[in-house]
Amino acid sequence: MWLLDGKTFAELACLLARETPALVLAFSPDGKLLTVGTGDGRVDLWDPWTRKHLATLPHGAEVTALAFSPAGTLLASGGAQGKVRIWDVRGQSLLSEFAAHAGKVLSLEFSPNGEKLLSGGADGVARLWGLDGSAQGAFEHSGSVRACFHPAGWQVFTAGGDGKILCWDLLTGKSFRTLNAHRGTVRGLAWVGDGLASWGADGDIFLWDVGAGTGALVLPYGSPVLKATFSPGGMLRFLLDEVGILTRWDGGHKAWLLRTLTGHTGGVCKLAFSPDGKLLASGSADNTVKLWEVATGRELRTLTGHVDIVLSVSFSPDGKLLASGSFDNTVKLWEVATGRELRTLTGHKDRVLSVSFSPDGKLLASGSDDNTIKLWDVTTGKELRTLAGHMDDVESVAFSPDGRLLASGSDDRTVKLWDVKTGEEVRTLRGHWDDVESVAFSPDGRLLASGSRDNTIKLWDAATGKEVRTLRGHWDDVESVAFSPDGRLLASGSDDKTVKLWDAATGKELHTLYGHMDDIEWVVFSPDVRLLASGSWDHMIKLWEIDSGKRVLPWPVGEIRALALSPQGDRLAVCDRQGQLSIWNPATGAHLSSFPASAELLALSPVGRLLAYASGSDITVLDLAKNTSRTLSGHTAAVTALAFSPDGSCLLSASRDDTARLWDLSTGELLHTLSGHKGDILAAAFSPDRDLLALVSQDKTISLWDLSGTRLRVLYGHTGPVWGVTFLDGGEKLVTLSEDGTARIWDIASGNLLEVTDAPPRPESFATSPDGETLFLVTKVGLFLWDVKTGTMTSTKQAHHGSVKAVAVAGALVATGGEDGTVVVCPLETALNRPPMAEFTWEVVVPEGRRRIRVEPRAGERIRFDASPSHDPDGEIAEYEWDFDGDGIFDAKGKVVEDTFETSGEHTVTLRVTDDRGATDEVTKAVGVLPPPVPPTADFS
């Protein structure tokens, strides 16, 4: 058993009293005493400050639970055979012993006044005891039970194997609220701050407002959590998962652990994301390369062929090839789709430490312990050139984004830049005083980062070779550095077992990620910047999610199949392809309930009380408030659309049986069958005022109906199946979209065709904004927004790791579901807003009456910076901010500003623009400043 420093995880002491395992731990309230329950039935008492073993208390059976009284004078121990013992800590004497449970004791807690003891057991019950062992209450639950007190002492909470938390009133002995907490066994409960914390086998940690019955997702950890601890203010501090990984969490983190990948039997040396972000490759000390599916964490394939450690991997730009370098002195090329070994490149005389493809995919560079770099023709495998110049091992190689330069880091403590075309050494960068382990170019090619065994990271100007900045924060070797694809972040992995995130522009340390138990060998960002992967000698790969400002709800069962949002934004229904339907609160991230259901379509009523879903020809309507359901039967083919009336009293369903049906939701009765189409009905919609229904069909027609089931009008004109329909301008117009490539706008009153525009291709699914003016289209290549009035289509930034599979829009929110099993929820205004574009020019301010003769400014001269080229495609720019110092502080405002640089050289200027809806964009440029003019020297003879 180890005693660790809570901030650094440094090992302070190893406390050993016997060889049997330590199963449970507890600190006394004042922190002066540590108790350890062991597998051989003993309770050891330690002084954690002096590391002295003070005493042993015999429990008699495997110890499974420990708890101190609030004053720290009493200690309770529970065992595998169901017995509880209460001890006098000072006198180390037994006060009472009693049989508490028919099975293992899982939890113990003293009441806030120290006069009672609450126990939870594997026998499905929690019990309240007097300190003499007298029974004072029982609280039945399902499965293994954990329990804790409310700090006021008049309520207790129990959690069981059914994933629920029951809230009990001690005065009445009755349960007054049920919290649908987790999707598996709840492993622990604790009152922290102003709420109840729970964690479980589903990997989620929640904080609950018991009075309101609502919960907030604190952390989607991803792996089953055994134990979590919190600060007095309710901030998560430490957690232990079932794999045995202890993680420290900082309340200010903007990144969290999403998933841990296990499978390697040796250290993980290198990682690489495929260009589309769907695959992750890992090279390991177990001599293998593994390919992982990023969305699920599933191991897809193991590539064998190397006979020694695989220390480097790299994907080709098209994602079809994978290169690996090994201690066996070879480089291998693999076919990603099949895992087949295509070619072995031999030529190095010692271990191959690094490989990298050129941006065009034609060249492969390899660095070796033989002090050289080799360039290979990827197509033929022919060695093209050997770059010699380093005096020690070449640890890392990286191509510049334009492919013209190659950077190399070496154990000779230098970084070298090479001309790829000629093979000539361009420049040597000196500054590190120990081995350089990693090099990486920024996406724009202006900066080069290097990580070293001198514990530092250096940023260099790639054009001049000048050192820009040194980043200090790691206290052991920096093994890896990586820029995020957007250039804003720099990640570093170190032998101090941490990953650090830095602001690439300012060098400011942003976050430290803890969790690995050994040296971290490599870090790499996913192409969409959403994930960061880290590999370590602890045999683990960790995927960290980088905060994007959007709420991501984890549903790691499988690909999302269907979504529905309530207009109030308080309910989100999610169904995955594994047949699980769940209800969330998208505002808080709270998971409300879940049940098995194979739903292909989902719809929530306007007030969010009713949920309708379709599977095949069957429709089920759930009353979420009453927990009752009703089946609506009548369709004879698959249901293609569901829509609630604006007042929530009726449900409209459309089907491939060529009919639509209108249902009374108060009784479940069929009101009308709308027939007449001669092909599948592909979409249906209510008008905003509820008076009209619109149906569109495979038969190329549109029909309008009233609520009595009377067909009012059929609209003709499309020459292909009509797949989309939406009402516009408060229901006065109708927009239809067809596979004939047109969108048609109709006048409802007259049925006249008003306008014909180009329509987007038919998507896999779509959703309409509440005003009917925007369609959110899910396609095979991403999520697109189509403006109904202008006919323009724009792409949205990828928010999922993998393709989007479902979209829902209601009220002020948009939700998307991905094949990675996550749901992203963001404000509708944010989704509709197209971000601004930042751009600026500069010129020397010339005194009136003088002519400009130079473009480049000199030190001390006034420079005018003009942001007029910036623009916002769908609004206006509200704010212009400038950073002239490169320190990340925007201390000048205005569309046109002036500034002076007092020194010559290259200065960094950043413009940040913010539009009228809060979206921002930044652009950074280097301004070259000439030295001040040299004054003339007067002389005469």
CATH code for position 505: 2.130.10.10
Residue 75 identity (one-letter amino acid): L
In 3-state terms the chain splits into helix, strand, coil percentages (rounded to 5) of 0, 55, 45
Helix (H), strand (E), coil (C) string for 166-187: EEEECCCCEEEEEEECCCCCEE
> What predicted TM-score, i.e. pTM, was given to this entire model?
0.46
What is the per-residue pLDDT across 695-712, written as a single tens digit (0 to 9) for each?
A: 999 999 999 999 999 999
Co-location of 53 and 90 in the same domain? yes
Q: For residue range 481-521, what is the model confidence (pLDDT) as tens digits?
A: 999 988 889 999 999 888 999 988 888 888 878 778 889 99
Looking at residue 173, its pLDDT comes to: 85
DSSP class of residue 325 equals: E
- Same structural domain, 206 and 326: no
Q: Identify the CA nearest to 445 among candidates 507, 508, 487, 416.
A: 487
In-domain check, residue 556: no
Can you tell me whether residue 731 is helix, strand or coil?
helix
Task: Specify which of 222-226, 318-322, 934-938 reaches the highest per-range mean pLDDT.
Answer: 318-322
How confident is the model at residue 685, as a pLDDT? Answer: 93
- Over residues 400-455, the pLDDT tens digits come to 999 999 999 999 999 999 999 999 999 999 999 999 999 999 998 999 999 999 99
Q: For residue 424, what are its two tokens?
A: 């000539």
Q: Can you give the pLDDT at residue 557?
A: 46
pLDDT higher than 50, residue 166: yes
Mind listing the pLDDT tens digit for each residue in 469-482? Answer: 999 989 899 999 99
If one compares 19 and 917, the residue with the highest pLDDT of the two is: 917
Instruction: Note whether 90 and 11 are same-domain residues.
Output: yes
Rg of the chain taking only CA atoms, in angstroms? 33
User: What digits encode the pLDDT tens for the residues 195-230?
Assistant: 788 988 877 788 787 776 766 655 656 567 888 877
Give me the pLDDT at residue 8, please. Answer: 46
Asked if residue 895 has pLDDT above 90, the reply is yes
Alpha carbons 71 and 73: distance in angstroms, whole number:
5
Q: What's the pLDDT at 549?
A: 39
pLDDT score, position 106? 94
pLDDT of res. 548: 44
Q: Is the model's pLDDT at 843 over the cut of 60?
A: yes
Select from 251, 270, 303 the last residue of a domain.
251
Give SS3 for 926.
strand
Domain span at residue 52 reads 1-101
Determine the pLDDT at residue 455: 94
Whether 522 is in a domain gets the answer yes
Task: Show the CA angle centred on residue 610, arms to residues 608 and 614, nearest 5°.
Answer: 120
Cα torsion 64, 69, 71, 74 to 10°: value is: -80
Q: What integer best gives the mean pLDDT of the chain?
A: 86
Is it the case that residue 762 has pLDDT exceeding 60?
Answer: yes
Q: Are residues 40 and 187 both part of a single domain?
A: no
Segment 321-338 mean pLDDT: 96
Residue pair 336/301 in contact (Cβ under 8 Å)? The answer is no
Query: Residue 252: its pLDDT value, please?
Result: 40
Higher pLDDT, 233 or 528: 528
Is 368 in the same domain as 243? no
Q: What is the pLDDT of residue 287?
A: 96
Split at pLDDT 50, 70, 90, the class of 4 is low
Split at pLDDT 50, 70, 90, the class of 245 is low
For position 551, what pLDDT does the model report? 44
- pLDDT score of 151: 85
Q: Across residues 308-318, what is the average pLDDT?
A: 96
Give every CB contact of residue 617 below 8 A, 6+ residues apart in sequence.
Answer: 633, 635, 636, 637, 638, 639, 655, 657
The answer to whether residue 123 is domain-embedded is no
Question: Do residue 403 and residue 268 come from a single domain?
Answer: yes
pLDDT at 602 over 90: yes
Q: Check which CATH number belongs to the domain holding 856 and give it.
A: 2.60.40.10
Whose structure tokens read 């390991």? 284
pLDDT at 552: 46
* pLDDT level of residue 540 (50, 70, 90 thresholds): very high
Burial 883-919 (b: 16+ CB within 10 A, else e): bbbbeeebebeeeebebebeeeeebbbbbbbbbebeb
Please determine, for residue 734, whether its predicted confidence score (pLDDT) is greater than 90: yes
CA angle 384, 388, 394 (to 5 degrees): 100
Q: Strand, helix or coil at 717? A: coil
246 and 304 both lie in a single domain = no
The tens digit of pLDDT for each residue in 357-375 reads 999 999 999 999 999 999 9
Tokens of 251: 């309340």
Instruction: Give residue-wise pLDDT tens across range 80-101.
Output: 999 999 999 988 999 999 999 9
Least-confidence region, from 403-407, 415-419, 690-694, 884-888: 884-888
What is the model's pLDDT at position 904? 86
CA 403 to chain centre: 31
550: pLDDT strictly greater than 70: no
| 60-66 mean pLDDT | 92
> For residues 672 and 570, which has the higher predicted lDDT (pLDDT)?
672
H or E segment to which residue 564 belongs: strand 560-565
**Same domain, yes or no, for 443 and 534?**
yes
pLDDT recorded at residue 803: 74
Tell me what percent of the residues of the chain surpass a pLDDT of 90: 52
Q: Which of 194 and 723 is assigned the larger pLDDT?
A: 723
Domain end residue (candidates: 497, 526, 546) = 546
Tell me which residue of 166, 203, 189 sits closest to 65, measured CA to CA.
189
Q: How confident is the model at residue 589 (pLDDT cuts 50, 70, 90)?
A: low
For residue 219, what pLDDT is reported? 62
pLDDT of amino acid 556: 41
In a domain, 131, yes or no: no
Q: Kindly tell me if the per-residue pLDDT of 5 is higher than 80.
A: no
Amino acid of residue 693:
L
782: pLDDT strictly greater than 80: no
What dihedral do alpha carbons 346, 348, 352, 358 form, nearest 10°?
Answer: -70
Give the domain CATH number at 45. 2.120.10.30
How many structural domains compose the chain?
4
- Among 251, 284, 312, the domain boundary falls at 251
> Band of the pLDDT at 244, cuts 50, 70, 90?
low
The confidence score (pLDDT) of residue 395 equals: 96
* Most confident range, picked from 34-48, 304-318, 522-536, 581-595: 304-318
Do residues 157 and 240 both lie within one domain?
yes
pLDDT tier for residue 257 given thresholds of 50, 70 and 90: low
Confidence at residue 142, expressed as pLDDT on a 0 to 100 scale: 82
Q: In 789-857, at which residue ranges do the beta strands (DSSP E only) sit?
A: 793-795, 804-810, 813-818, 822-827, 841-844
Report if residue 325 sits inside a domain: yes
Residue 327 lies in a domain: yes
Inform me whether the pLDDT recorded for 73 exceeds 80: yes
Instruction: Give the model's pLDDT for residue 30.
Output: 85
Phi-psi domain of 770 (left: phi exceeds 0; alpha: psi -120 through 50; beta: other): alpha
Average pLDDT over residues 132-158: 91
- Residue 660 lies inside a defined structural domain of this protein: no
Position 203 scores a pLDDT of 76
**Mean pLDDT over residues 46-71, rounded?**
90
pLDDT at 612: 94
Q: Kindly state whether residue 830 falls inside one of the protein's structural domains.
A: no
Mark whether 353 and 485 lie in a shared domain.
yes
* Per-residue pLDDT at 808 exceeds 60: yes
Are residues 265 and 382 both part of a single domain? yes
CA-CA distance, 366 to 22, in Å (whole number)? Answer: 48
Phi, psi of 259 (to 5 degrees): -160, 145
394-399 and 135-140 beta bridge pairing: unpaired
Whether the per-residue pLDDT at 777 is higher than 80: the answer is yes
How does residue 53 score in pLDDT terms, banded at 50, 70 and 90?
confident
DSSP string, 727-760: EEGGGTEEEEEETTSEEEEEETTT--EEEEEE-P
55 and 178 fall within a common domain: no
Q: What is the pLDDT of residue 82?
A: 94
